[in-house]
């Protein structure tokens, strides 16, 4: 039998050889895609940040600044009462960073987080309608039964702080509603559905022109602390840690303090 290959057989053999050579190249391509993202190109990182409702405005600003200085990283925020955020973490909701408005809420999920860092502090004020039409001047005025007062619910950090300062002064307030987060309290006052409410100083400042803020002396106030931590189940641990670290950096602190938050 002749060993000479016909043209047809040569083409077939060539196809087999080509296929054999392409297999390891394809495998290398798959490895590259796994390392750097789809189609072998560098993929951006999206971080999901669960943050206390009172951080809504400042984190929107901070997020834009962070994305500008960290190309390739996108921040997605989910704002809610700290108790809701803790419940989400406990239920395994996918996220990368948690920032609460008190240390007790953070402590409830310490098994799910890295070591928290306090990034800012805050204090309460009495929010009233613009021009303070009911002449609310002091915490004791909130006990007036004719005044429609709204507070955050007791399980919410702002509600706990409110309860703390009112009890300390021996003041009994019967709120017309207890809201799931401090922003809801502010909204009730803004819309005229409440005459007054206890909110964070930063919330009232962000609503200047819509509400007035009556200061509460420091010795009768409560200090809110905001701890931030990475979540252990994050798929972007290094990027999450970098954002938490940035919040304590000079740039991050300037944004927080410009919004009225106090130094940690």
Residue 130 falls inside a structural domain: yes
Same domain, 189 and 111: no
3 occurs within a structural domain:
no
Q: Which two tokens stand for residue 221?
A: 């106030």
Q: Tell me, yes or no, whether 206 and 231 share the same domain.
A: no
Domain encompassing residue 58: 45-121+225-258
Q: Are 220 and 125 in contact (CB under 8 A)?
A: no
Predicted confidence at residue 31, as pLDDT, reads: 37
Same domain assignment for residues 138 and 94: no
Look up tokens 């429609």; give the residue: 148
Whether 201 and 111 share a structural domain? no
Instruction: Give the CATH number, domain containing residue 93.
Output: 3.40.190.10
- pLDDT per position in the chain (264 positions), as tens? 444 444 444 444 444 333 443 333 333 333 333 333 333 333 589 999 999 999 999 999 999 999 999 999 999 999 999 999 999 999 999 999 999 999 999 999 999 999 999 999 999 999 999 999 999 999 999 999 999 999 999 999 999 999 999 999 999 999 999 999 999 999 999 999 999 999 999 999 999 999 999 999 999 999 999 999 999 999 999 999 999 999 999 999 999 999 999 999
Instruction: Count structural domains, the chain.
Output: 2
**Digit-coded pLDDT (tens) for 37-77:** 333 333 589 999 999 999 999 999 999 999 999 999 999 99
Does residue 20 lie within any of the structural domains? no
Residues 74 and 113 in one domain: yes
Residue 5 placed within a domain: no
Ramachandran area for residue 170 (φ above 0: left; ψ -120 to 50: alpha; else beta): left
What is the predicted pLDDT for the residue at 39? 30
Residue 170 maps to a domain? yes
Verify that 135 and 105 share a domain, yes or no.
no
Asked whether residue 233 is domain-assigned, the answer is: yes
């Amino acid at each position: 039998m002749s060993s000479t290959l016909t043209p047809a057989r040569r083409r077939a053999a060539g196809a087999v050889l080509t296929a054999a050579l392409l297999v390891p190249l394809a495998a290398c391509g798959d490895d590259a895609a796994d390392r750097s993202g789809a189609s072998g190109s560098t993929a951006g990182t999206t971080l999901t940040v669960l943050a206390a409702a009172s951080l809504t405005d400042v984190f929107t600003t901070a997020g834009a600044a962070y994305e500008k200085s960290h190309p390739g990283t996108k921040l997605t925020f989910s704002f809610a009462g700290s108790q809701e955020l803790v419940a989400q973490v406990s239920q395994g909701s996918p996220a990368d960073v948690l920032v609460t408005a008190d240390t007790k809420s953070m402590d409830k999920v310490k098994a799910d987080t890295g070591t928290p860092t306090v990034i800012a502090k805050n204090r309460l004020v009495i929010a009233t309608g613009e021009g303070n039409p009911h002449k609310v001047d002091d915490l004791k005025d909130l006990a007036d039964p004719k005044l429609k007062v709204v507070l955050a619910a007791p399980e919410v950090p702002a509600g706990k702080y409110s309860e703390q300062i009112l009890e300390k002064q021996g003041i009994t307030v019967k709120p017309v509603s207890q809201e799931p987060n401090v922003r809801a309290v502010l909204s009730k006052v803004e819309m005229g559905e409440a005459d007054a409410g206890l909110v964070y100083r930063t919330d009232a400042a962000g609503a200047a022109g819509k509400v007035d803020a009556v200061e509460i002396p420091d010795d009768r106030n409560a200090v809110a602390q905001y701890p931030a931590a990475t979540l252990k189940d994050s798929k972007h641990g290094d990027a999450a840690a970098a954002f938490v670290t940035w919040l304590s950096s000079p740039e991050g602190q300037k944004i927080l303090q410009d919004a009225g938050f106090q130094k940690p």
